[in-house]
Structure 1
Amino acid sequence: MFVDSGSLLFQHTKIQAKREQAKKAQADGIAAAMQAMNCQAIGIGAHDLAGGLSVLKELQERHKTVWLSMNLVDPEKKQPIFAPYLITKVGDLKIALFGLTDDQGEHNGEGKEKGYTILPWQDALPKTLAEIGKKVDMTILLSSYSYQINKEIAEIVDGLHMILESGHAAPTTEPYKVKNTLIAQTGTRGKYLGMMRIEWNEAGQWTDISFNRIRTEEDRLKRVNRQLARLEKQKKKAVLAKDKGYKKLSAEKKQLVKSIKALKKSRDSAPEDKGMCKYTNLFHPLNTSLPEDPEVKKIIDQAIQKANEINQKRLAQLGLNEPTITLQDVAGSQKCRECHAAQMTVWQDSKHAQAWTTLEKKNQQFNEDCVLCHVTLPFYDADKVKAANLLLMLPKSLKNVGCEACHGPAAAHSAGQGKIPVARPDEKVCLGCHTPEHDDNFIFSEKVKRLGCFSPKQEVKPKVEQQEEKGEEKQKEEKGKKDEQEPSQPTASEPAAPESADPPTITPQGKKVKI
């Protein structure tokens, strides 16, 4: 049985009007692909409502999508708009699938105007479960509520055997038991497929022994040990003692060792659970190296192409078929090369320099959700960038992640020969794009060295000061003064802020489960 817990169609709970048609085209492709993969039911999450009820109804009719939600109701009739549950069979086992929609504080205020109301789960779940639970062997809830609320549901509601979560946690979560309810979640953005094998019987009670949890914790410990080993090779003990990333990893290692020891002790001392229901759980990484299903790939490619055509048409309507805009405060990486040749040489061999090519290979160069982190624009001012349509009007010189994507606009810095400082990016800048969803192994102190730029804390000076200081040092050397008293000398390829300047730091503003 293949199901999805929801928050499947859209990345955000609201869509800009100008992007609505392209997003709907993508949603249509997702629904078509799920049908091709024989998905039996999909819960409705708050993100799925971003396009309005009409989109869900159209997809239901066109692709026979089975949407489930018992608390998404008509405000006048007080009845569910879509099916509240689905009873299906797997072998001889009769299973009831229920759906719950979380409003995430976004939709209740405007839902009535759009033709729906989201009821609290307490007003829908207990009554429906009590009625249907008697007719089936097993009950499963597809919920877009948060972990905290799903845990509360498991603690309060009897007769619910499993909750499959969606949308509130980036990483995959190993199943855990609350009373007699098993709660599981697969990570977001389609990076993993969760697969459970269940041995169910008339007892209807889950075993307390989880071999999966031990294996997951041991795998995580191996990854943490590898990360610690890399840092220990690169840094001295005195530096590591102050490294926040190293401290965090060390604390996590200590906790994992303690957790694994406790789990093994519990496993070894537990009596044999004869007659109890058991499960195994696997998370399959959906790597790009895996072979594509021809039918599904065709559907997705067509959806991407349609969304691209819509965005291109919108661009044409703006009268900008050949984007030639220039951003007055952005110099462009080629201008940076004039003084920073060494850094540019390293940059050219980096993934940042190939960021736009990556999009083109995946035909996502017109997807504004992706473009922002693959170009030389201030991603930390995303609302301004999107409002000005800059993402769809970039000149070739700003495609790829160049210097100013991290250091900020540098036209004034370049014109002033480095006298006007550029910003020094800190970890927050990198984490604006290197989120856990996109890069779950990001360590700032390690990755920043690969860029070939100077250290975020390193003092460097413009050309004029360099020349003056060299003359002063020569005089001091002639008088026999120690070089150690002098500031370190930057190379000609590293002009930056005057020593007296205090450069600003950029800071950003602001599910599937197979059984």
Structure 2
Amino acid sequence: PVRIAFIGLSDLPPDDFKGQVSASGFMVEDPLAVAKKELAEVQDKADVTVIVGYLKRGTVNKLAQQNADLDLIINADGTGITLDPMQINNTLIMYATKETKHLGELRFYADADGDIERFTVRYVELDEVIADDATLATMTKTARKEIDAVQTKMAEDEAALIAAKIAVDGLPPSSFVTSEKCAQCHKAEFDKWQKTRHAHAFKGIETRQRIYDAACVGCHSVGFKQAGFINIKATPQFANVHCESCHGAGAEHAAKPEKGKYVTPAAPASCVGCHDRDNSPDFVFEKYWPVVAHGNLKVAPAIKPTVKAKKK
């Protein structure tokens, strides 16, 4: 049998904490120094040495450069950018994909002495065909409840501060007016919008307990980080995907409609910012456009859809 030693490392806590013992009893130390010490301890006990890390890429490269006996590094770094497997000196380096949407599979083939002769790598997409692990699903659900409780309290505090400021200074200016304002002149388009999932988009992240997740709310609201949606407690009127999510902020047009037409033409580029491969893997522009199309708006023919349905 092949003996494999796993060493876990992280270098993401601030340098200020190095050398201090946390409330949980963990000591934060230099990962490069720790790696040398741990690798020396397992050198005669393992045929293959693996570091599993949450490390900056510079640290990963240094680990490979400084430790000739290190066989493999499996790393995640939170950047959302997945690199192809690479090799530095004797060390193979693999990166996990973002948001745990893929399962990385590494197969290595060792000779009689335990030395790696060759390897194969593949990433398996964890789509709806592959069921969730029951234990991890329970852990994830519990964690999301705890995170949601903390984020809800933060949102309530933020909403209270905003309400206090409004009481003194009045409503802050916003370039967004919501679909209800658009309906005063564009009732047919508004009626069509109300029948689409755009009009109820926020429910999707409510179901998943992600209503305070900045990575999600931008595509389920209007004007996030642009003087529009802040959070559901403070600015509920900007929840959901409104007219202005696709056509741009409308306050100026609503104030002076006599100045003429205002519209950012809808096109594939308007959609794929949110309906991308990660978040809408089954999205096909030509299929879903008729569901939301209204008025005389035309698709810009020069822009090609960049998201296609995944193959089953």
TM-score (norm 1): 0.44
2:239 to 385, 388, 399: 399
Distance 1:113 1:394 in 2: 43
Q: 1:417 to 1:296 in 2, by over 3 A?
A: same
What letter is aligned with 1:301? K
1:27-66 to structure 2, matched below 5 A, reads none
TM-superposed CA distance for 1:332, in Å, is 1.1
What letter is aligned with 1:333? S
2:105 to 192, 195, 216: 195
What letter is aligned with 1:111? F
* 2:219 maps to 1:373: yes
- Please tell me whether the aligned partners of residues 65 and 88 of structure 2 are also in contact (alpha carbons under 8 angstroms): yes
Distance 1:336 1:380 in 2: 21
Structure 2 partner of 1:141: 51
TM-superposed CA distance for 1:374, in Å, is 0.9
What letter is aligned with 2:122? L
1:359-370 to structure 2, matched below 5 A, reads 359-370=205-216
* 2:31 maps to 1:125: no
Q: CA RMSD in A?
A: 4.5
TM-superposed CA distance for 1:131, in Å, is 4.1
TM-superposed CA distance for 1:331, in Å, is 1.8
1:417 to 251, 257, 275: 257
1:356 to 202, 209, 223: 202
1:442-457 to structure 2, matched below 5 A, reads 452=293, 454=297
Deviation digits for residues 302-356 of structure 1 (CA, Å, limit 9, x no counterpart): 3333443444455666787xx9x98763321122234445655664565533421
Q: 1:300 to 1:168 in 2, by over 3 A?
A: closer
Structure 2 partner of 1:291: 131
- Please tell me whether the aligned partners of residues 18 and 30 of structure 2 are also in contact (alpha carbons under 8 angstroms): no
What letter is aligned with 1:362? R
1:70-109 to structure 2, matched below 5 A, reads 92-103=1-12, 107-108=14-15
- Please tell me whether the aligned partners of residues 194 and 283 of structure 1 are also in contact (alpha carbons under 8 angstroms): yes
Distance 2:281 2:60 in 1: 25
Deviation digits for residues 163-194 of structure 1 (CA, Å, limit 9, x no counterpart): 10112553555534444322212211111122
Distance 2:154 2:80 in 1: 32
Q: Percent identity?
A: 25
1:285-324 to structure 2, matched below 5 A, reads 285-313=125-153
* 2:17 maps to 1:111: yes
Q: 1:347 to 1:155 in 2, by over 3 A?
A: farther
Distance 1:339 1:203 in 2: 78
Distance 1:135 1:113 in 2: 28
Structure 1 partner of 2:96: 186
- Please tell me whether the aligned partners of residues 47 and 115 of structure 2 are also in contact (alpha carbons under 8 angstroms): no
1:241-280 to structure 2, matched below 5 A, reads 276=117, 278-280=118-120
Q: 1:145 to 1:353 in 2, by over 3 A?
A: same
TM-superposed CA distance for 1:97, in Å, is 1.4
Deviation digits for residues 108-132 of structure 1 (CA, Å, limit 9, x no counterpart): 2x435976765362x4434542443
Distance 2:206 2:30 in 1: 43
Deviation digits for residues 83-103 of structure 1 (CA, Å, limit 9, x no counterpart): xxxxxxxxx332221233234
Distance 1:408 1:114 in 2: 50
Structure 2 partner of 1:335: 181
Distance 2:78 2:142 in 1: 29
For the residue of structure 1 that corresponds to 2:100, the secondary structure is: coil
Q: 1:182 to 1:448 in 2, by over 3 A?
A: farther
Aligned residues: 284
More divergent stretch after superposition (330-339 vs 349-358):
349-358
Distance 1:153 1:362 in 2: 38
Distance 2:114 2:282 in 1: 39
Q: 1:412 to 1:361 in 2, by over 3 A?
A: same
For the residue of structure 2 that corresponds to 1:170, the secondary structure is: coil
2:121 to 273, 276, 281: 281
- Please tell me whether the aligned partners of residues 180 and 205 of structure 1 are also in contact (alpha carbons under 8 angstroms): no
For the residue of structure 2 that corresponds to 1:331, the secondary structure is: coil
Distance 2:37 2:149 in 1: 47
What letter is aligned with 2:234? M
Distance 1:408 1:418 in 2: 18
What letter is aligned with 2:17? G
Distance 2:284 2:127 in 1: 22
Structure 2 partner of 1:244: none
Greater RCO (CA < 8 Å, at least 6 residues apart): 1
Larger radius of gyration: 1
What letter is aligned with 2:5? A
Gaps of 5+ in 2: 22-26, 302-312
Structure 2 partner of 1:86: none
Distance 2:124 2:234 in 1: 38
- Please tell me whether the aligned partners of residues 108 and 120 of structure 2 are also in contact (alpha carbons under 8 angstroms): yes
For the residue of structure 2 that corresponds to 1:134, the secondary structure is: coil
- Please tell me whether the aligned partners of residues 356 and 374 of structure 1 are also in contact (alpha carbons under 8 angstroms): yes
What letter is aligned with 2:30? L
Distance 1:430 1:119 in 2: 45
